[in-house]
Structure 1
Amino acid sequence: MNIVFFAHPTFLNQQSMQRFARMLTEGMKQRGHTVELWSPQARVLQLPALPVMRKWLAYIDQYIVFPREVRARLKNCSPDTLFVLTDNALGPYLPIVANRPHVIHCHDFLAQRSALGEIPENPTSWTGRNYQAYIRRGYSMGKRFIPISQKTKDDLSRMLSAPPLTSEVVYNGLNQPFTPSDPGAARTLLSEKFGIDLSAGYLLHVGGNIWYKNRLGVLEIYDAWRSTAQQNLPLLMIGEAPDAPLLTKQAASAFKTNIHFLSRVDDEYVRLAYVGASVFLFPSLAEGFGWPIAEAMASGCPVITTNEAPMTEVAGKAGFLIPRRPNNPASVNDWANEAARVVETILDLSPEEHKTVVALGLKNSERFNPEKALDHFEQLYQKIAEEDGLNTA
């Protein structure tokens, strides 16, 4: 089968999307298919310009230069080619291949829902609303979709004016080898690496500063827990360097010396951090999926996450669930205190109870096997290609 994958440009530094595109291209090559990866290149963006102009130069490369290049490539492209958009945010490219066999991977519709005013925590500007409308007009021409979760599938159905020919949920596979090992040994290595005493354990969060990750909520839970707890375990926040609101929140905390922001952490130490953590906190406001939940469980770490889809889809029956952080500031303290009690519940587990929780998480994480995911993608690609009359031999 001939497959062309459309991917986000590397100059946007969207690491998760780049890893997903690589997983697909390498996985399909290993399965014997002829594969090409098409993505915008930094052409206009290479020109000297003020920093404020770089976003607009990037748009020119993505939405003017690249579509012209695609149309030129199509002249030499085999008619027996399946075109795969690796993300629904690549919707503006779909009209170019809408009349040819295609499928669109859908990760989340959070930006789309924000533009429609559905998410009060993330108001969208006039330009942002029009940009999201532009994306939606593109992918709405699609006929075949592969959502990453049932939640994403439900959102997709609301975004489309008519049911698509294909909309089948496929959970991705974990893109690294997350496995449990000795927590004590992991804590020793991490203590030496970062110069923090982690020997007694620690609370962990992994994520960026984007609004829905709710990193402020993580600090609120930690403060609430430390205010009543007998233990003084530190909090590790692995991900992007903290933004101004996070730094302000940390500075105001009575436990600020125990809150540690770690950025540019190598994958090896992220995996160790999962293994050594006493509790993994993931109180997201929304997600397309929520990979850190599965990563932590696969590493043998108990997980606290939000009692809403798709976090509940990923956690299954193995996670400890808390309500979504309220948008009303007057209710936040009660929410943080409730979550803090769940933290304490996990830390108070007996060795046998802890063993049971870890076993449930490991069993749940087996659903996210990367080879099984790639096999499922391949089966869907083959089915779509055959239904659309392609020669897949």
Structure 2
Amino acid sequence: MARVPELVVIAEQLLAPVPGGTGRYTAELLRALAVTAPPGWTVASAVARRADVEPARIPGVRGPRMLPLPPRALVAAWQAGLPLWPGGDAVHAPTPLAPPRPARARWGGQWGRQWGRQWGRHSLAVTVHDTVPWTHPETLTRRGAAWHRAMVTRATRRAGAVVVPTRAVADDLARHAPGPVPVHVIGHGVADLPAPEPPPEPLPDRYVLFVGTLEPRKGVDVLVDAVSRLDGVALVLAGQPGWGGLDPVALAAEHGLADLRVLGGVPDAVLAHVLRGASVLAVPSLAEGFGLPLLEAMACGVPVVHSDAPALVEVAGGAGVVVPRRDPAALAGALRAVLGSPELAGRLVTAGRARAAEFSWRGAAERIWALHQFAGSRPS
């Protein structure tokens, strides 16, 4: 019986304490890769060894198969260049956590010849979501910024292909981590959210919504300041706390914001309800690689106000209101304009729906399959 070729996706981000946007990307891409698999191919996932891997299970995807090392050891091993292969004929790393691909000059001796032959038969593509470790390192831990710089640089020099979500990231990557590996711009998609379910506590009638991890680069401090300048409008934050010790409640007290709702991480059904009830979505980030909440809000018919971070401007495509970063007065003015003008809000909703329709996870998956099939059809 002929052996069935397999694409293995590193799904470790699905098991992270705060999966964030890259966790959502991993899950949606896995689902789409399984649906769009070329004839004869299967899709599997791989994760580090741990007691519970249920959150990484995706319908239609084999696994997750557990690698022999626990999470921290796996991160350290791959960073050090240890050739722990996750299996399969092709590997896609949806974050920079990827198995090493050694340079040909290092393929010496029996081990080198064996490892070199293995890589000659397999393809590796790595998704790089942003260049924040170079452009805004202060919004990450020092260790996290250094690790990402090292792993991304290795990908641009040794992977078979690098995938980025926007041209803005591709351009930044060429400046900060240039390499011979081809870089492909493949945007995210828009998922079909499930039937809405309300959160345990009722939401206010009018609210500005923020969706994302609560961490410094997301501009939540600027948003709290901006909404405190508006009358009769609440601020709803949907997302898990991240690094940086951001305290929205303390920020609200400091700026005199009377109505703040912090929902934490919410399941997709609750997110659907929260999105559909929002008066406007605010995306005040200092830096982004894509900005998936922006696109999901547009798909749900919610007007969007976003910062002038290049990737957000690119993804919005003119369908949102753009404001300068770190400018609470400008953000407040834009939010006030949208909230006070049904005509402006209506135009943004129409433009946003059209813009969101241009993106799909199926299309993203098909383009990633093409990368692996092309790479696997020729010597590495």
Given the two structures, how large is their TM-score scaled by the length of structure 2?
A: 0.77
5 Å-filtered alignment, 1:210-249, equals 210-224=215-229, 226=230, 229=231, 232-241=232-241, 243=245, 245-249=247-251
Would you say the 8 A contact 1:42–1:61 is kept in 2? no
Distance 1:25 1:274, change over 3 A: closer
Aligned pairs for 1:154-173 (under 5 A) are 154-164=171-181, 166-173=182-189
The answer to whether the aligner puts 1:357 opposite 2:348 as a matched pair is yes
Q: CA deviation at 1:367?
A: 1.6
Q: What residue ranges of structure 2 are gaps of 5+ in the alignment?
A: 52-69, 103-114
Q: Which residue of 2 aligns with 1:41?
A: 49
Tell me which protein shows more helix as a share of its residues. 1
Q: What SS is found at the alignment partner of 1:168? A: strand
Aligned to 1:340: 332
Range with greater deviation from structure 2 (376-385 or 283-292)? 376-385
Amino acid at match of 1:255: L
CA distance change for structure 1 residues 284 and 178 in 2, over 3 Å: closer, same or farther? farther
Identical counterparts, % of pairs:
21
Distance 1:173 1:341 in 2: 30
Deviation, structure 1 residue 340: 1.3
47, 64, 75: which is aligned to 1:62?
Answer: 75
Q: What is the identity, as a one-letter code, of the residue corresponding to 1:62?
A: V
Secondary structure class of the residue paired with 1:103:
strand
1:106 to partner: Cα distance: 1.8
Could you list the runs of 5+ residues in structure 1 that have no partner in the other structure? 44-56, 180-185, 326-334
2:126 to 93, 104, 112: 104
Displacement of 1:37 in angstroms is 1.7
**Contact preservation (8 Å) 2:306, 2:322:** yes
Q: 1:159 to 1:385 in 2, by over 3 A?
A: farther
Find the counterpart in structure 2 of residue 51 from structure 1. Answer: none
Partner in structure 2 of residue 279 of structure 1: 280
Shift of the 91–318 alpha-carbon distance from structure 1 to 2, 3 Å rule, reads same
Distance in 1 (alpha carbons) for counterparts of 2:77 and 2:140: 28
Distance 2:78 2:313 in 1: 41
Distance in 2 between the 1:178 and 1:376 partners?
A: 26
Residue 366 of structure 2 corresponds to 375
Seen in structure 2, the aligned counterparts of structure 1 residues 11 and 359 have a Cα distance that, compared at 3 Å, is closer
Report the aligned-residue RMSD: 3.1
Displacement of 1:27? 2.9
Cα displacement (A) at 1:150: 0.8
1:314-349 Cα deviation digits (max 9, x unpaired)? 111110000011xxxxxxxxx222221111211222
Residue 299 to residue 29, structure 1, CA distance change in 2 (3 Å)? closer
Does the CA contact (< 8 Å) of 1:7 and 1:90 recur in 2?
no
Q: CA deviation at 1:143?
A: 3.7
Give the 5 Å matches for 1:1-393. Answer: 1-8=5-12, 10-13=14-17, 14-30=19-35, 31=37, 32=39, 33-42=41-50, 58-64=71-77, 70-71=84-85, 81-87=89-95, 89-91=96-98, 93-95=100-102, 100-111=122-133, 113=134, 118-119=135-136, 121-122=138-139, 124-125=141-142, 127-128=143-144, 130-136=146-152, 138-139=154-155, 140-164=157-181, 166-177=182-193, 190=198, 193-196=200-203, 198-199=204-205, 201-224=206-229, 226=230, 229=231, 232-241=232-241, 243=245, 245-256=247-258, 258-325=259-326, 335-350=327-342, 352-388=343-379
Post-superposition Cα deviations, 1:186-231, rounded to whole Å, max 9, x if no partner, equal 8xx75x84134x23x211111212221111111011112x2xx4xx
2:107 counterpart residue number: none
SS at match of 2:358: helix
Superposed displacement of residue 270, structure 1 = 1.2
